């Protein structure tokens, strides 16, 4: 295998560097010379590796150069597919597959023509023209199929040229790529090195499987139908869907007391915030928001906030904006109240974070509309269900950034505090949280803004507010209303951003 897997006709050299020999396993003298030549020159050094030329992507795989293996397999497969199509493929088959339908129509027109000659002579000319057109279509398809079959030699030539070019590139890059990996291996011996039958077999199997399946799919599409689409069974999907539906129904009934108490708690907070935002006279609420913005982000931001509030008021969005802020405030308050302690616990307990992290990934990557399905099943429709969906969508950043901020606290600062007698509680409240506060505030900001992004989607299940106007604009194609409501949501988001991030900036 050594004669096949590496450079040919290179004599053994007992003076080769032992590290090179340990790294390459075979033909160490050749690779020591190549590595020295590449390392002595600046920039790319062209060399030629016959083993890489002959084995192609397999050589890169068995040398653990997988980042090169994947693109080279794709390029080789492209060339191999062209060769397979040119040598064995029936290039005209996809064109001729349309013939049976046209010929069946032609037979039908012949029958109609015969009946027209006996019963409706005035329709004879129309049927004759249709028959002539179909006959021309048949002849055109046959000509196109013949022309497609005539391109077989071109495909073979293109495939050979492409395969040679790819292999030449592989041979020219091989030594430089391996030398780069050798340099990394010198500082990190955990990087794979040497040659093993397992790596050779894996690379060869992957390459052969890719060549074979792609050649069969594109060269012989009718021979292996299972390669055209995944051989799935619709009954499996139906049975799994029914099982999930039954489980959700059972869980909703058995845990009704829990979900009812949760809805009661959410509605209590929501009603309190709606009373504050909606029932408070607008001059008081507007003045409070402007003052809060001025104290947090400066009076320039306060002037902008005043202009934004005037926009909301004069265009009739004040009440709906306040309802939206109440809904958003409920979701954000609950998310932040739960998220920051959870982030602190995860920062101090890596095992807990290893469990929580996949859940956060699920919350962030699952499409927002998918959240609505289980939420409706367990909570029904209305504002509490919309708040739950908003919490799921926007609750992840505050946990992640709290963990990131606490883990980023310099260790020497914590050691100094402990050296002066700080206990764990003092260390958390007086050292860790103050130093991590910029990251925590960024997490709070992202949670609030992501929750605001759910306004329109949450309106689908009865959240009301500004999202309802956007939804109606989509349903009735009311462009003006949709743009005005969207700008109102944007104004709310910018005001919140200035209030929350003002001091940090």
Per-residue pLDDT tens over the stretch 338-385: 999 999 999 989 899 999 999 888 888 888 778 788 888 888 778 888
Average confidence (pLDDT) over 38-49: 82
**Contact criterion met (CB below 8 Å) for 51 and 59:** yes
In a domain, 239, yes or no: no
Using alpha carbons, select from 207, 197, 192 the residue that is nearest to residue 1. Answer: 197
Write down the pLDDT at residue 9.
Answer: 38
Residue 403 pLDDT > 90: yes
| Chain position carrying tokens 């050798």 | 182
Q: What is the rounded average pLDDT of the residues 380-401?
A: 86
- Rounded CA separation 277/330 (Å): 12
Residue of 303 and 99 predicted with greater confidence = 303
The pLDDT assigned to 13 comes to 43
CA atoms within 13 A on the CB side of 215: 20
Select from 83, 14, 10 the least CA-distant residue to 50.
10
| Alpha carbons within 13 A on the beta-carbon side of 444 | 22
Mean pLDDT of 21-46: 84
Q: Are 220 and 266 in the same domain? A: no
Give residue 20's domain range.
Answer: 2-91+153-227
Query: Is 50 within the bounds of a domain?
Result: yes
Considering the domain architecture, whether residues 60 and 204 belong to the same structural domain is answered as: yes
Please, which pLDDT band fits residue 124 given cuts at 50, 70 and 90? confident
Handedness of CA 299, 303, 304, 310 (dihedral sign): positive
**Is 86 in the same domain as 117?**
no
Q: Do 164 and 198 belong to one domain?
A: yes
- Write down which residue in 131, 150, 169 finishes a domain: 150
Q: Supply the pLDDT for residue 163.
A: 92
Average pLDDT over residues 182-187: 88
The rounded distance, in Å, linking the Cα atoms of 166 and 76 is 7
76 and 143 share one domain? no
**Is there a contact between 483 and 334 (Cβ–Cβ < 8 Å)?**
no
pLDDT at 502 (0 to 100) = 65
Tokens 């339908």, located at residue: 101
Q: How many residues does the chain have?
A: 505
Report the pLDDT averaged over residues 270-285: 85
Between CA 319 and CA 277 the distance in angstroms is 9
Report how far residue 482's alpha carbon sits from residue 224's, in angstroms, rounded to the nearest whole number. 51
By CB atoms closer than 10 A (0-12, 13-18, 19+), residue 357 is middle
pLDDT in tens, 415-432: 888 888 888 888 888 888
Q: What is the pLDDT of residues 197-218, one digit of tens each?
A: 898 999 999 999 999 888 888 7
Spatial distance between the Cα atoms of 93 and 136, rounded to a whole number of angstroms: 19
More confident residue, 331 or 202: 202
Given pLDDT bands bounded at 50, 70 and 90, which one contains residue 390? Answer: confident
- Asked whether residue 417 is assigned to any structural domain, the reply reads yes
Dist. CA 505–CA 501, nearest whole Å: 6
The per-residue pLDDT for 5 is: 45
Q: Are 30 and 7 in contact (CB under 8 A)?
A: yes
pLDDT of residue 343: 92
CA distance linking residue 378 with residue 46, whole number of Å = 65
Is residue 109 located within the same domain as residue 207?
Answer: no
Alpha-carbon distance of 459 to 374, in angstroms, equals 16
The pLDDT score that the predictor gives to residue 15 is: 43
Q: With respect to residue 241, please indicate whether it lies within any of the assigned structural domains.
A: no
Percent of the chain exceeding pLDDT 70 equals 95
Using an 8 Å Cβ cutoff, are 179 and 47 in contact? no
pLDDT of the residue at 465: 78
Q: What is the pLDDT of residue 342?
A: 93
Mean pLDDT of 162-180: 92
User: Contact, 454 vs 446, CB < 8 A?
Assistant: no
Please state the rounded mean pLDDT for residues 325-331: 83
Q: Does residue 443 share a domain with residue 332? A: yes
Model confidence at 221, pLDDT cuts 50, 70, 90, reads low
Q: Are residues 190 and 211 in the same domain?
A: yes
Helices 433-453 and 318-348: angle between axes, nearest 10 degrees: 140
Confidence of residue 503 (pLDDT cuts 50, 70, 90): low
Choose between 403 and 261: higher pLDDT.
403
Residue carrying the six token digits 């743009």: 483
Asked if pLDDT for residue 11 goes beyond 60, the answer is no
At residue 11, the 3 state secondary structure works out as coil
Last residue in a domain, options 150, 166, 192: 150
Residue 234 lies in a domain: no
d(CA 463, CA 467) in angstroms, rounded, equals 8
- Rg (C-alpha) for the chain, rounded Å, is 35
How confident is the model at residue 17, as a pLDDT?
Answer: 61
- Report if residue 247 sits inside a domain: no
Average pLDDT on 278-304 reads 86
Greater model confidence, 306 or 223: 306
- Domain shared by 325 and 439, yes or no: yes
Query: What pLDDT is stored for residue 12 in this prediction?
Result: 42
pLDDT band at 52 (very low <50, low <70, confident <90, very high): very high
Cβ contact 195:62 at 8 Å: yes
Domain end position, chosen among 175, 206, 227: 227
Q: How far apart are CA 391 and CA 335, in angstroms?
A: 6
Supply the mean pLDDT for the chain: 83
Task: Give the C-alpha separation, 285 to 54, whole Å.
Answer: 77
The confidence band for 296, taking pLDDT boundaries of 50, 70 and 90, is confident
Segment 311-318 shows an average pLDDT of 88
CA distance 421 to 430: 13
Residue 282: which CATH number? 1.10.3720.10
Rounded Cα–Cα distance for residues 90 and 155 (Å): 12
More confident residue, 499 or 289: 289
Distance CA 6, CA 10 (A): 9
Q: Is the pLDDT of residue 233 over 60?
A: yes
Residues 332 and 480 in one domain: yes
Give which of 58, 39, 37, 62 is closest to 48, Cα–Cα.
Answer: 37
Q: Are residues 335 and 448 in the same domain?
A: yes
Answer yes or no: are the C-beta atoms of 97 and 212 closer than 8 Å.
no
- What pLDDT was estimated at residue 127? 78
Same domain flag for 65 and 113: no
Query: How far from chain centre, in Å, is Cα 102?
Result: 43
Residue 283 scores a pLDDT above 80: yes
pLDDT-based confidence at residue 4 (cuts at 50, 70, 90): very low
d(CA 325, CA 275): 12
Residue 122 in any domain: the answer is yes
Instruction: Identify the CA nearest to 62 among candidates 199, 210, 207, 201.
Output: 199
Coil vs helix vs strand at 188: coil
**Average pLDDT of the residues in 86-109:** 80
Residue tagged 């919490």 (tokens): 391
What CA–CA distance (Å, rounded) separates 497 from 438? 14
Q: How many domains does the chain have?
A: 3
Identify whether 194 is part of a domain. yes
């Amino acid at each position: 295998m050594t004669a096949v897997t590496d450079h040919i006709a290179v004599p053994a050299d007992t003076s080769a560097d032992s590290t090179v020999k340990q790294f390459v396993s075979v033909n160490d003298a050749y690779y020591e010379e190549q590595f020295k030549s590449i390392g002595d020159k600046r920039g790319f050094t062209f060399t030629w590796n016959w083993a890489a030329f002959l084995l192609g992507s397999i050589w890169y795989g068995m040398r653990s150069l997988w980042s090169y293996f994947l693109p080279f397999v794709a390029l080789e497969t492209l060339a191999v597919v062209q060769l397979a199509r040119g040598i064995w493929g029936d290039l005209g088959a996809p064109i001729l597959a349309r013939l049976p339908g046209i010929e069946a129509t032609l037979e039908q027109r012949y029958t109609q023509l015969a009946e027209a000659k006996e019963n409706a002579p005035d329709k004879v000319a129309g049927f004759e023209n249709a028959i002539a057109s179909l006959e021309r279509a048949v002849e055109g398809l046959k000509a196109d199929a013949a022309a497609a079959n005539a391109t077989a030699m071109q495909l073979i030539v293109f495939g050979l040229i492409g395969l040679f070019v790819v292999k030449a590139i592989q041979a020219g890059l091989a030594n430089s790529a391996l030398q780069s990996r050798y340099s990394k291996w010198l500082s990190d011996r955990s990087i794979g090195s040497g040659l093993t039958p397992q790596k050779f077999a894996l690379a060869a199997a992957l390459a052969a499987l890719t060549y074979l399946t792609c050649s069969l799919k594109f060269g012989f599409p009718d021979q292996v139908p299972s390669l055209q689409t995944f051989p799935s069974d619709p009954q499996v999907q139906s049975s799994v869907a029914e099982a999930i539906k039954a489980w959700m129904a059972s869980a909703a009934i058995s845990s009704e007391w829990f979900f009812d108490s949760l809805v009661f708690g959410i509605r209590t907070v929501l009603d309190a915030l709606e009373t504050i935002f909606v029932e408070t006279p607008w001059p008081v609420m507007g003045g409070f928001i402007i003052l809060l913005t001025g104290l947090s982000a400066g009076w320039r931001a306060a002037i902008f906030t005043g202009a934004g509030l005037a926009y909301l008021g004069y265009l009739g969005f004040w009440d709906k904006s306040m309802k939206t802020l109440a809904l958003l405030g409920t979701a954000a308050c609950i998310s932040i109240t739960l998220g920051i302690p959870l982030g602190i616990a995860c920062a101090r307990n890596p095992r807990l974070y290893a469990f929580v992290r996949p859940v956060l990934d699920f919350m962030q990557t699952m499409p927002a509309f998918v959240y609505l399905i289980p939420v409706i099943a367990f909570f029904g429709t209305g504002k509490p269900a919309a708040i739950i969906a908003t919490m799921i969508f926007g609750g992840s950043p505050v946990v992640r950034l709290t963990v990131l901020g606490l883990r980023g606290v310099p260790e020497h600062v914590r050691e100094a505090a402990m050296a002066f007698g700080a206990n764990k509680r003092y260390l958390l409240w007086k050292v860790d949280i103050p130093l991590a506060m910029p990251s925590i505030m960024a997490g709070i900001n992202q949670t609030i803004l992501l929750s605001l992004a759910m306004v329109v989607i949450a309106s689908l299940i009865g959240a009301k507010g500004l999202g309802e106007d956007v939804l109606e604009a989509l349903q009735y194609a009311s462009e003006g209303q949709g743009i005005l409501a969207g700008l109102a949501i944007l104004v709310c988001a910018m005001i919140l951003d200035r209030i929350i991030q003002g001091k940090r900036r």
